[in-house]
């Protein structure tokens, strides 16, 4: 199975994947899935962040998403609370990338080098950050975790 990322909808209580779950709304138009996407470029961004800023950089969730060792049986879950903290990382990165805040000379050089040799496959970095924000908004709206499958 390829990498995948999903936020389930909350039309089911208490958990959509429990056999005893009953649909609150029997015609859930989401088919249980509120938002899903391929997280390959998000994971790649995690690698780049770790390369430029190091592991203890404050980008805890980005480096987690990009580190398969943080996955349990190829599965990683960010709670809605985690998602809120991840959003702060995205906002920080946006300030760096817009030049509103300086990421540091050393980090900038490593960043440029990394993404010159490992460009994202399908999206620009800004589009990848939008994917992240969409996942976070979905998680908040549904009160559901963001689930990553490696």
Give the binding site for Zn ion (CB under 5 A): 9, 11, 28, 30
Q: What is the dihedral of CA 143, 81, 48, 64, to 10 degrees?
A: -100
Minimum Å distance from CB 14 to Zn ion? 14
Q: Which residues of 1-18 are buried (b: 16+ CB within 10 A; e: fewer)?
A: eebebbbbbbbbeeebee
CA distances for 129 relative to 1, 122, 137, angstroms:
24, 13, 12
Name the residue nearer to Zn ion (CB basis): 3 or 30: 30
| Residue 30: CB minimum distance to Zn ion, A | 3
State the minimum distance, in angstroms, from the CB of residue 37 to Zn ion: 17
Complex with Zn ion: residue 25 or 84, whichever CB lies closer: 25
Q: Which is nearer to Zn ion, 10 or 63 (CB)?
A: 10
Q: How far is the C-alpha of 36 from the C-alpha of 34, rounded, in Å?
A: 7
Report in angstroms how near the CB of residue 142 gets to Zn ion at its nearest. 8
The nearer residue to Zn ion, 9 or 146, going by C-beta atoms, is 9
């Amino acid at each position: 199975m390829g990498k995948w990322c999903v936020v389930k909808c909350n039309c089911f209580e208490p958990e959509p994947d429990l056999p005893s779950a009953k649909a609150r709304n029997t015609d859930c138009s989401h088919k249980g899935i509120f938002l899903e996407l391929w997280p390959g470029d998000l994971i790649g961004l995690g690698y780049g962040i770790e390369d430029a800023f190091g592991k203890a950089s404050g980008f805890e969730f980005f480096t987690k998403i990009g580190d398969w060792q943080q996955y349990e049986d190829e599965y990683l879950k960010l709670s809605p609370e985690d998602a809120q903290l991840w959003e702060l990382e995205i906002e920080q990165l946006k300030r760096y990338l817009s030049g509103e805040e300086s990421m540091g000379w050393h980090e900038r050089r490593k960043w440029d080098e990394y993404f010159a040799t490992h460009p994202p496959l399908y999206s620009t970095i800004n589009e990848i950050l939008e994917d992240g924000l969409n996942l976070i908004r979905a998680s908040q709206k549904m009160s559901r975790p963001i689930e990553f499958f490696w």
